Chain A
Amino acid sequence: KQEVTQIPAALSVPEGENLVLNCSFTDSAIYNLQWFRQDPGKGLTSLLLIQSSQREQTSGRLNASLDKSSGRSTLYIAASQPGDSATYLCAVRQADYKLSFGAGTTVTVRA
């Protein structure tokens, strides 16, 4: 059974600092890995999707890396802003339909 772990569970940084969020998974036989942002009352928003054959994906200030063999992914958010405060979830896909989620890292960016 796939286990997805996100450490730390919570993170507080001053505005402008770079954020580093970690995700690890136990079964490396994955199709892809997806990072989501969760805001209270607004559901989940997909940030980045990395296919199993890729090493990284970038979108604006966000960069996600994937090391499938070691079962790890890292989400980097450059020059954090108060608007980046949210919970960030990673999820890995093994079968066509099933996503296995981590519990998330709750980020607070202090102005």
Chain B
Amino acid sequence: DADVTQTPRNRITKTGKRIMLECSQTKGHDRMYWYRQDPGLGLRLIYYSFDVKDINKGEISDGYSVSRQAQAKFSLSLESAIPNQTALYFCATSALGHYEQYFGPGTRLTVT
């Protein structure tokens, strides 16, 4: 089984809808991250969490919110989806004191 899983893997939604992307990990890592990837651009950090009570904005947090329900679960919400939020979304984890991040398979989100 994959160490970092994301659900759903693909989602098409309409403008104005609320949508939640979920991430779960079995690596026992404290730190979790949400990124988005757009064609021709590198991954950009949306939010990150160092533990259940520590959540921080990344460089492009506007229009997004997150919830860290447990050490192993980190959800990303789009309160009112808009077309320019169409992108590939990645969740990642890392252990305290270690630099390497481990990525999930991604969620492809399309907002029409």
Contact = CB atoms under 8 A, between A and B. Distances in A.
Interface in B5-32: 9, 31
B104 A43 contact: yes
Contact of A97 (B40, B41, B48): B48
B64 interface: no
A89 B106 contact: no
B102 A46 contact: yes
Interface in A46-105: 46, 49, 89, 91, 93, 97-104
Interface in B65-112: 90, 92, 94, 99-106
Contacts of B104: 43
A20 interface: no
B50 to A, nearest CB: 7
B82 to A, nearest CB: 23
Nearest to B108: A41
B60 interface: no
Interface residues of B, number: 24
Contacts of B100: 34, 46, 49
A89 B50 contact: no
B55 interface: no
B99 to A, nearest CB: 6
Contacts of B31: 97
B43 A99 contact: yes
B42 A89 contact: yes
B99 A49 contact: yes
A108 B41 CA distance: 19
A97 B50 contact: yes
Interface of A: 4, 9, 31-32, 34, 36, 41-46, 49, 89, 91, 93, 97-104
Q: Which 8 A-B pairs have the closest CB atoms?
A: A101-B42, A44-B103, A43-B105, A43-B103, A101-B43, A103-B42, A102-B42, A43-B106
10 contacts: A36-B103, A43-B90, A44-B92, A49-B100, A91-B43, A97-B33, A97-B50, A98-B45, A100-B42, A101-B42
